[in-house]
Structure 1
Amino acid sequence: MKIFRLIILILHVGILFLLLGSLLNAYVPPKIFPWFDLLSLGFPVLIILYIILTVFWVFSWKKRAFVFMLIGLPFINPVKRWVNFSTEKKESSGDIKIVSFNIKAGLMGKEEIQNYLKAQDADVILLQEDGGLEYPALKNYHRTQSNGFLTILTKHKLSNEKLIFSEDGGLPSGLQADIEINGRSYRFIDVYLYPFQFEKKMVKLNGNTEENEQKVKGVVKKLIPTFKIHQDQVKKIRTGIENSPYPVIIAGDFNSVPNSYEYYHLAEGLEDAFMTAGRGSATSFHDYKFPIRIDYVFSSKSLRATSYVVDRSVSISDHYPVIAEISLNGK
């Protein structure tokens, strides 16, 4: 029994160090050490194992259970970025309604997407992978110029739109526009970081050990370069945030999970609407069975999210729409 407990202890400490490694994404960029960003993908599994092993020590009546519980406290906020079970009283509705949605170029139903967006009656709609679609059902909205990737639609006055490109000059990673609402201007940034370009068959494991090993290596070979591309894209988007003369709202498909380098640096100085007003799971990408949150809404701290919903009632894309209400009067 002592040997078994020693093995469990070593495993528990190992998982702890991996979890701590994921927190280092706040400080270490992918171009220096991309493996910390890789750890963020496994955070849900790691934290579940950590909790299970902590419970094991509790039932084993070992004092180390309290040590692991104490050390585990810094992971409360990282967990809440995935699953938020806060019981705070729901606030009144916000001043504006925002919808962020990766529509996958309308491949799962162009008409259905337009009908859905029209029914939401949002003040601002931020779309990713829009495929250059037209939106005849949204005639009362002002729209940014079509670029095939990102679109912002709004009922309010739209100005100063600008595409954000990373240093390699590749695909646009962001689209910023200033929108005047009730006499005040706000900067909206629609984000679409470089995709990993996975297919289900690439990540689906089977009983063949050798084949699975090759799949894992292939996935890692795609992940590492993408993390480095994201670093450049995040830098450019941060410039748009920091140079804004107005309060900022950024939303979109970040192709990055919570606790990643991308999350920490895009969220810096901003408020995560899900952590403020969301409840339950924030999983927004449903093409795989593994829980993945890659769609977000962040805002300046002078604003405040009053509600945040991942709308799982529709399956018209491989993403679920994210809907947030924002109070423009702050806290």
Structure 2
Amino acid sequence: MAGKARRLARRAFLILIWTLAAVFLLSCAAPYLDPARWWLVSFLGLGFAATLLSLLLGLVFALVIKPRYALILLGALILGIPSIAVFFALNTGSGGKVPHAPGARHLRVVQWNVARFIEQRRNNNQGSQTRQKMLEQIRAQNADILCFQEFSQATDSDHYDNLGYVRETLGYKYFYFPRGAGFKNWYGQAIFSRYPLIDSGFVAFPRPGTPEKLVWADVVIGRSILRVYTGHLQSYKLEKDDYERIEKIKNREDSLIPHSLSLWEKLRRATVLRAEQARIVRQQLDRCNYPMIVTGDLNDVPNSYTYHHVRGDLQDAFLEKGFGIGRTFNGLAPTLRIDYIFATDQFKIHRFQRIARTLSDHYMLVADLEWKR
């Protein structure tokens, strides 16, 4: 009887080992599978950190209990190295402050989802002034190019003149910020530059009435032209009720099934829409013959179809000079790196910094690049 119980236990443990390996490898496959057909696999990519941690814990237990089974997990881990490499950066000593070397070959780029600067209406609230703190943080970077998402502007005097402040007070007189037609108060993607722009435009994603789009500008630096893209892809549009559902699921309260179903449907729709937008972005990038810097809030993690398509063969500034997981969204999970700075190989990336100061719900990213020519 004891021998039969041991055989059953070994069999159950082996099934668990194969399950861990299969789930981990499926999460590694998420970047290559269209979420329209494989949306469950896409969710595994979103939870890559959890699948990787589960695999590592399983590997430790297997080494103690049944070392032969550990080979299964070790094999899965080796196959998953490319996915781990985009999830975790191992550079050291590259995130500190270094002086910016101005000149036509050196560029400092800021990427930030400013969340409409939090305070849109003029106020005298001395205890907050979040907007002013954000603008001072932008000023402190002394960047050459600013790329913003959810940048806001209004035509009435009750709201702050963000456009005028960045142009006149911060000194970025060249900019492109397409206005939403028919609105007195609008927000979207904006590019500001210390260098002249000779062309600009945007590609609206197929969701009329929303600010998600890809904005671009051609920047003249010396005798060369650089194209800068910035975009904001479909978010999950989580509202207060959704965050309450997440808390109920975390706390294992009653009625978990209806809470989970409504939340999963919202996540599924956003994932499918974002995949379509990522393909549109990739088409635009493939048509460009200039050296490129691509920034944005992709609203998706590195182990995703979205990241894989948008990045392509571009350099990821965080992977080149960052360290760790590089969280950029300060809500929900501590593993959400969803904001990026990419560049073509005409540039050498000298520094990457994530300024983890909670002003917006996203952290500011700063990269120093050098034109190789």
TM-score, length-scaled by structure 1: 0.91
Greater alpha carbon shift after TM alignment, 302-311 vs 78-87: 78-87
Contact 1:31 1:228 in 2 (8 A): yes
Name the residue aligned to 2:158: none
Q: 2:109 aligns with which of 72, 81, 98?
A: 98
1:230 pairs with 2:230: no
Aligned to 1:326: 369
1:65 corresponds to which of 58, 70, 75:
70
In the superposition, relative to structure 1, how do residues 24 and 289 fare at CA in structure 2: closer, same or farther (>3 Å)? Answer: closer
User: Residues 301 and 228 from structure 1, CA distance in 2 versus in 1: closer, same or farther, beyond 3 angstroms?
Assistant: same
Q: State whether structure 2 residue 227 is matched by structure 1 residue 187.
A: yes
Partner residue in 2 for 1:278? 322
The residue number in structure 2 matching 1:143 is 175
User: 1: distance between equivalents of 2:94 and 2:351?
Assistant: 11
1:210 offset after TM fit, Å?
A: 3.7
3-state DSSP of counterpart to 2:37: coil
What letter is aligned with 2:196? Answer: K
Q: CA RMSD in A?
A: 2.4
- Which residue of the partner structure matches residue 127 of structure 1? 148
Q: Quote the residue 2:215 is aligned against.
A: 175
Residues 94-103 or 249-258, more deviating: 94-103
Equivalent pair of 1:234/1:262 in contact (CA under 8 Å): yes
CA contact (8 A) 2:27 2:51 kept: no
Deviations 1:187-220 (A, max 9, x none): 1111100111113323223545443322221221
Aligned AA (2:217): A
Q: Which runs of 5 or more residues in structure 2 are unaligned?
A: 1-5, 120-129, 154-161, 180-186
Q: Residue in 2 aligned with 1:247?
A: 291
Instruction: Please point out which of 156, 160, 179 is paired with 2:199.
Output: 160
- Partners of 2:141 and 2:113 lie apart in 1 by 15
TM-aligned CA deviation for residue 23 of structure 1? 2.9
Counterpart amino acid of residue 188 in structure 2? F
2:24–2:76 CA contact under 8 A, matched in 1: no
- Counterpart CA distance in 2 for 1:111 and 1:37 is 39
Deviation at 1:260, TM superposition (A): 0.6
The question of whether the paired residues in 2 share the 8 Å contact of 1:165 and 1:233 is answered with no
2:175 alignment partner AA: R
Contact 1:118–1:137 under 8 Å retained in 2: no
The one of 65, 78, 81 equivalent to 1:76 is 81
> Deviation of residue 76 (structure 1)?
2.5
Distance 1:16 1:61 in 2: 15
Q: What 5-or-longer segments of structure 1 have no aligned partner?
A: none
Amino acid at match of 1:105: R
Number of residue pairs matched by the alignment: 329
2:50 is equivalent to residue 29 of structure 1: no
Give distance in 2, aligned partners of 1:48 and 1:328: 39
Tell me the CA shift for residue 74 of structure 1: 2.8
User: In the alignment, which residue of structure 2 is the partner of 1:43?
Assistant: 48
> Quick one: which amino acid aligns to residue 145 of structure 1?
F
Question: Within the alignment, does 1:7 sit opposite 2:12 as a pair?
Answer: yes
Alignment counterpart, residue 110 of structure 1, candidates 131, 136, 141: 131
Change over 3 Å in CA distance of 1:98–1:74 after alignment to 2: farther
Once residues 49 and 230 of structure 2 are traced to their aligned partners in structure 1, the CA distance between those partners, rounded to angstroms, is 27
1:277-300 Cα shifts (integer Å, max 9, x gaps): 111231110122442111111111
1:32 and 1:67, CA in 2 relative to 1: closer, same or farther beyond 3 A? closer
**How far has the Cα of 1:130 moved from its partner?**
1.1
**Post-superposition shift, 1:231?**
2.2
* CA distances 1:1-21 after superposition (whole Å, capped 9, x unpaired): 554443333223222222222
Structure 2 match to 1:52: 57
Separation in 1, partners of 2:310, 2:23? 23
3-state SS, counterpart of residue 72 of structure 1 = helix
Which protein has the larger Cα radius of gyration, Structure 1 or Structure 2?
2
Moved more, 297-306 or 163-172: 163-172
Contact (CA 8 Å) 1:114, 1:138: kept in 2 or not? no
What amino acid sits opposite 1:150 in the alignment?
Q
